Chain A
Amino acid sequence: GEDVEQSLFLSVREGDSSVINCTYTDSSSTYLYWYKQEPGAGLQLLTYIFSNMDMKQDQRLTVLLNKKDKHLSLRIADTQTGDSAIYFCAEKGDSNYQLIWGAGTKLIIKP
């Protein structure tokens, strides 16, 4: 079946940029998403990118998509303590509305 992979942890210093990476296998992927989950809470849709786009920027967030390599990244500029969370990558194929989820990357902010 289709798969989405992420590294489990990322540690960055406050003020630096964070880059969270994700790879996926579904060549028919139409939308790719980044969700944020804070401890004990549900998921918040941060941003998404359509598969025919290479980049999307939204304030401190930049999403890069390399469709050839099936690689997605989320860059958070000027990382703050409030950015501490687990970030999930997810993709949607073209056949239904179910999402395929990565395992989540825990972002740890060092002072």
Chain B
Amino acid sequence: GAVVSQHPSWVICKSGTSVKIECRSLDFQATTMFWYRQFPKQSLMLMATSNEGSKATYEQGVEKDKFLINHASLTLSTLTVTSAHPEDSSFYICSARSSGSHEQYFGPGTRLTVT
């Protein structure tokens, strides 16, 4: 149980285009989803926390107009990187937790490369 999927697993896009990454909880209802960014050989950086049906809470320094997060259902959250630039290239990982649980389950990550 507690499986979280991400799609796509990797994506290459041109500078200036937008990319949408999906995060799904497959066998549980995810009350809260988290979006992280991980640079090579570094730890995870929390970008935002989203509760189903509410606006996401962004961490300091994360541009909410650039990284659009939607958590419209209990099993799906999306992260859209708008007008992507090469510096947005990174590994994006989502995690999800269900109501009343302290455990976060992680997706396999999405490697974004912006050329």
B75 interfacial contact with A, CB 8 Å = no
CB within 8 Å for A92 and B102 given contacts A42-B6, A102-B43, A104-B43? yes
- Count of interface residues, chain B, beta-carbon cutoff 8 Å: 21
Q: Are B93 and A103 in contact (CB under 8 A)?
A: no
CB proximity of B68 to chain A, nearest CB, Å: 20
Nearest neighbor of B105 in chain A, beta-carbon distance:
A45
Interface size class of A (residues with CB under 8 A): 10 to 19
| Complexed CA–CA distance, A31 and B97 (Å) | 14
State how many angstroms separate the Cβ of A33 from the closest Cβ of chain B: 8
Q: Is A34 an interface residue (CB 8 A)?
A: no
Counted as pairs of residues, one from A and one from B, with CB atoms less than 8 Å apart, the total is: 45
Chain A residues, CB < 8 A from B95: 43
Among A11-19, A59-67, A74-82, A93-101, the stretch in contact with B: A93-101
Contact: A31 with B109, CB < 8 Å?
no
Residues of chain B within 8 A (CB-CB) of A98 are 34, 46, 49
Q: Do the beta carbons of A88 and B43 come within 8 Å of each other? A: yes
Given A97-B32, A101-B43, A103-B43, residue A40 in contact with residue B111 (CB < 8 A): yes
Q: Which residues of B contact A (CB under 8 A)?
A: 4, 6, 32, 34, 42-44, 46, 49, 93, 95, 97, 102-109, 111
Interface residues of A (CB under 8 A from B): 30-31, 35, 40-45, 48, 88, 92, 97-99, 101-104
